[in-house]
Chains A and B, each alone.
Chain A
Amino acid sequence: MSEAQHPSLVVDGLTTAFRVEGRWYDAIRDVSFSVAKNETLALVGESGCGKSITALSIMGLVPKANGRITAGRVLLDGRDLVPLDETEMEKIRGNAISMIFQEPMTSLNPVLPIGFQVAEALRYHTALAGEAARARALALLEHVKIPSAARRFDDYPHQFSGGMRQRVMIAIALACSPQIILADEPTTALDVTIQAQVLALLAELKSETGMAMIFITHNLGVVASIADRVAVMYAGDLIEIAPVEELFEHPMHPYTEALLSSIPRVDRDAGDLKPIAGQVPPITAMPSGCRYADRCPLRVPRCTKMPPLVALAVDPKHRVRCWVRAAEESANA
């Protein structure tokens, strides 16, 4: 369960720009991480920090009209996906990599039966067709525990609850046994009890298939229960990445520290909550250096330059993008 294993997916220096009022701005910059087979990497950060854009960039689904990948590589088993054209990406999407989206209520096509929508993934990536595809799709729906799946195979999405629709989405994502699955806040829109069921289902399916998973969330409680490693993003930068216990016990980046101490806890007074002062800068006014500098208590003049993501000497699996903390740590080591 570590990077030492052969990585399934390597993201290297990924930078994606969006056009705002005629000018291009980096929505994510220099994002690098890898995920191994059987591993779950959680990608955390507040809304708008670039988590979803990272996932869409990996999938090649950045809207072409106003977005594009400007640098970096996405290596799937050593093959770079970034230069591939649409036809080649169609062969990979839903096959080797698949994705589960945040909104189960709007992510299924309202005018197509759910069984058809599951079978469709098989049709374009496997030799299965007709009755065979139907049988396999039914097995998938049963596998994700849709009650009386055979009877409901030809029902439409509006006849299903949010939790059931998310199960259908999971069945679609799993259809072709992908090497890696990107789950973009798959439980955020669901009730808490349903959330727990869906999380348990995902964990169970992952351990059965041995696939890698990138789990995007802003919920640190979910991170603790599902992730092997955690990558923290802030304003489009990946600022810290570490195994899950390490990150919770020894957060290095000042933003990660602040994030962890802003979680409400039952055993503490609400007065002890420390909200982070200030705001995330808008994409049109991002500093070229560390993007957290304006809100950071540790700020030094050097922070106007972008810090590199540095592996800590005490634990090379723990990497942080901060001039001050990287320097402190190497002085202590």
Chain B
Amino acid sequence: MLIYIVKRLLVAVPTLLAVLTVVFFFVRIAPGDPTFIILGDQASQQAIAAVHHELGLDRPMLVQYLDFMSTVLQGDLGNSLVTHRPIWNEVANVLPYTIELTLSALFIGVVLGLPLGIAAARHRNETLDYAARIFSLLGLSFPAFVSAIMLLLAFAIELHWFPVISEARTGDPLSRVSALVLPAVNLGLIMVAYVMRVARSSMLGVLGEDYIRTARSKGVPARVVIWRHALGNALIPVVTVVGLYLGVLIGNSVLTEIVFNRPGLGKLIVNSLNQRDYTMLEGLMVIYAFIIVIVNLLTDLTYGLVDPRVRQR
């Protein structure tokens, strides 16, 4: 298992380097010049040249690239063009909110989606199965911002159970949790739909396998057959979907953070876009790419936990 982890870590390194390279050239190719943001569009040629020199933009591309790579690899993402504060600080301020939102959505998705998918597979073509499938289709078809608004209307505005505007930046843990519930449920329900679907179909496949018949022929009780013999095998595709969907979840969290007015990475991205904060966007892209690489790494490591055949490779 240790060798497997080391191998996966080594593979992640070139991926990350490639991502940094793409981000660097992507920002250079994108139209627009950051100097206009700093100086306004009436600036003189000398002023522009001076800023270019200050930002190092007059140097050859390759020198800029090597410089970018070495500073990023040292953990320095530079300063925001707008606030002039270090990007790391801006990100570190809001990152916990995005992490708590994503993890609670993931938790809701797995804790509800997995048993629902298993139950649907066990009761294939019965009422429970149909209900679960209709629910999951609804969950998959609703855009996150629509369901967010509906949740707000029902539970915040009509029922007053939760705050309309999340005062997430608070020291009081209870109000922080209460501000988290609706956004987490909003993202979590979509996750439930994904997890349920894949858990159901993978469970149906596994229940037809020979080794399930072997377990039953040993007299293993039905409950144990499902939860130990079938689930262990059915989890492999579920892990894949959860891993892939974490990327989508981070994208959906942008919309959710805006509708619920929560601080977070998504909110930061939209603000930087509005203010054309190029260095901030560059930094955020690096951070998102980093998160995705980490998630993929964790997904691969989870495979190793679930499937002994993967561990050996």
Contacts and interface: CB of A to CB of B under 8 A. Distances in A.
Interface string A1-38: 00000000000000000000000000000000000000
Contact of A111 (B214, B222, B308): B308
A91 B306 CA distance: 30
B218 A93 contact: yes
Contacts of A113: 308
A78 B228 CA distance: 34
Contacts of A156: 308-309
A125 B220 CA distance: 9
A49 B253 CA distance: 58
A120 B216 CA distance: 11
Interface string B269-313: 000000000000000000000000000000000000011110010
A168 to B, nearest CB: 10
A109 B309 contact: no
Interface string B191-217: 000000000000000000111011111
A61 B213 contact: yes
B221 interface: yes
B8 interface: no
Interface stretch (A98-106, A263-271, A295-303): A98-106
B308 A158 contact: yes
Contacts of A107: 210-211, 213-214
A87 B232 CA distance: 23
A244 interface: no
B309 A106 contact: no
A120 B218 contact: yes
Contacts of B213: 61, 101, 107
Contacts of B228: 112
A169 interface: yes
B14 interface: no
A95 interface: yes
Contact of A90 (B221, B232, B233, B309): B221
Contacts of B229: 109, 112
Nearest to A125: B219
A35 to B, nearest CB: 18
Interface in B127-149: none
A67 interface: no
Nearest to A106: B210
Interface in B203-253: 209-211, 213-222, 228-229, 232-233
Given A108-B211, A109-B232, A93 B217 contact: yes
A125 to B, nearest CB: 6
Interface in A112-149: 112-113, 120-121, 124-125
Given A61-B213, A156-B308, A111 B233 contact: yes
Nearest to B212: A109
A45 interface: no
Interface size for chain B: under 10, 10 to 19, 20 to 34, or 35 or more residues? Answer: 20 to 34
Contact of A95 (B211, B214, B219, B309): B219
A59 B219 contact: no
Contacts of A94: 217-220
B211 A106 contact: yes
B122 to A, nearest CB: 11
Contacts of A82: none
A86 interface: yes
B309 A158 contact: yes
B304 to A, nearest CB: 12
Contacts of A98: 217-218
A89 B309 CA distance: 33
Interface string B43-69: 000000000000000000000000000
B308 A90 contact: no
B217 A99 contact: yes
A90 B214 contact: no
B308 A86 contact: no
A109 B211 contact: yes
A283 B211 CA distance: 27
Given A61-B213, A101-B210, A90 B306 contact: no
A53 interface: no
Contacts of B220: 90, 94, 120, 124
A110 B217 contact: no
User: Which 6 pairs between the two chains have the least Cβ-Cβ distance?
Assistant: A94-B219, A94-B218, A93-B219, A111-B232, A106-B210, A109-B211
Given A94-B218, A109-B233, A110-B307, 14 more contacts: A65-B124, A89-B219, A94-B219, A108-B214, A109-B229, A111-B306, A111-B308, A112-B229, A120-B218, A121-B219, A125-B219, A158-B308, A158-B312, A169-B214
